[in-house]
Structure 1
């Protein structure tokens, strides 16, 4: 109970600090972007709600290669993308999907979702099958591979070369699992921080996205002109 009280108090204080610049009140040595950074959870100390420790380790390693750091923008781990995925899977995204058959796994994409699995099950079964395939193909768990082998494994997962059937998974294939993981990684990188990812609005700052500003009509018709204002999140945080 004491821990919960301390956590709530910390969140309240940080939220207050974030709100001060929006009201025109300067906080010496602390910018709104820095306050937003402080308010976001630490990836190192985060305890997954949905993933098991083994699943979480693979997700961290995969996200790190799908959007690696050190480029022109922040990486997936810098922006808490795995936290976004975990929180979304623990909520409605992971469990609420129409699962009344019949299912046709060979149907064209225009006919919509054809798997008898929830998104949660896609991750659970996909992670297990992919890691089992990595152990057969490379002699090691995916998260323990060197970076070049991780990239190679993900490319084979994307192309469908990673054989899930050999691990007993006859419904889900590697390509489908890769597409889910990649789509959610992109979403976590670009979504509003309220959903767990895009820590400190770093990705918005990198691409010049204004976020949830109430109005920026005067900039709509100005082409090839850098947008000068910092982004704003749904909760009023400023990057």
Structure 2
């Protein structure tokens, strides 16, 4: 598995992801649900801690897994920035139901250019976690993924990524790819969705968030600008997503 040196990870993903986030600054274009309605902007689906899909056991698996994908170093780990909350909330809503995906069988192995080829994400998470935990319990004296040492967790994630861990019904590699993508989204996305707690990931890479207007700074070349990040919802970096301020 390509366990991430955080700097290499950022070079490979943050530029693309923050570019997409920058598009959210135009609040009139922000779409928070499906189906899309022409000429109508929908508010973002604000994180609600009561809106959950994962069981406690599934959350323990996801917490351990995302913290191996983005472990703590000088900056917080994935779970410390709320990535598990982000994933749980997304799975409980339209994304988890697969409202934007074509979900009619048969599901065939697709190419990289064809995108997601599976049942609803919530189905894949639940089925894959159950089957992964079953395989681990059989081979590691009844232990769960979260109870294993980090080296063994890394080895299992590597097998998932490469498709070397055979699961009865779920695709190991498809699940790994989805988990990795959702981890990136939760870590670098707008905190209104539950992840990127206190906008620490944005501060780490110097991303100012969803600021409306940069025209006063266009002519200020080679000058470092120290902006505190701003959410698409308008709150500043030290206000939590659930705040009413």
TM-score, normalised to structure 1, is 0.71
Corresponding residue of 1:36:
none
Query: Which consecutive unaligned segments of at least 5 residues does structure 1 have?
Result: 1-39
Pair 208,220 (structure 1): closer, same or farther in 2 beyond 3 Å:
farther
Q: Paired residue for 1:127, among 122, 126, 129?
A: 129
Alpha-carbon offset, residue 174 of structure 1: 1.1
Alpha-carbon offset, residue 219 of structure 1: 4.7
Matched, 1:211 2:241: no
RMSD (Å) for aligned C-alpha atoms: 2.3
3-state SS of 1:189 partner: helix
Runs of 4+ in 1 over 6 A off after TM superposition: 221-224
Corresponding residue of 2:78:
76
Cα shift readout 1:161-219 (whole Å, capped 9, x = no counterpart): 2121xxx22xx321110010010010000111110111111111111001011112455
Corresponding residue of 1:187:
185
Pair 134,219 (structure 1): closer, same or farther in 2 beyond 3 Å:
farther
Corresponding residue of 1:92:
94
Aligned length: 188
Pair 209,138 (structure 1): closer, same or farther in 2 beyond 3 Å:
same
More helix by share: 1
TM-score, normalised to structure 2, is 0.70
Separation in structure 2 between the aligned mates of residue 223 and residue 129 of structure 1, nearest angstrom:
54
> Residues 51 and 92 of structure 2 are in contact (CA less than 8 Å); yes or no, is this contact kept in structure 1?
no
Separation in structure 2 between the aligned mates of residue 119 and residue 163 of structure 1, nearest angstrom:
19
Alpha-carbon offset, residue 94 of structure 1: 0.4
Corresponding residue of 2:6:
none
Pair 69,204 (structure 1): closer, same or farther in 2 beyond 3 Å:
same
Matched, 1:150 2:153: yes
3-state SS of 1:75 partner: coil
Corresponding residue of 2:105:
101
Pair 133,237 (structure 1): closer, same or farther in 2 beyond 3 Å:
same
Query: Which consecutive unaligned segments of at least 5 residues does structure 2 have?
Result: 1-46, 238-245
Matched, 1:67 2:70: yes
Alpha-carbon offset, residue 110 of structure 1: 2.7
Alpha-carbon offset, residue 226 of structure 1: 3.5
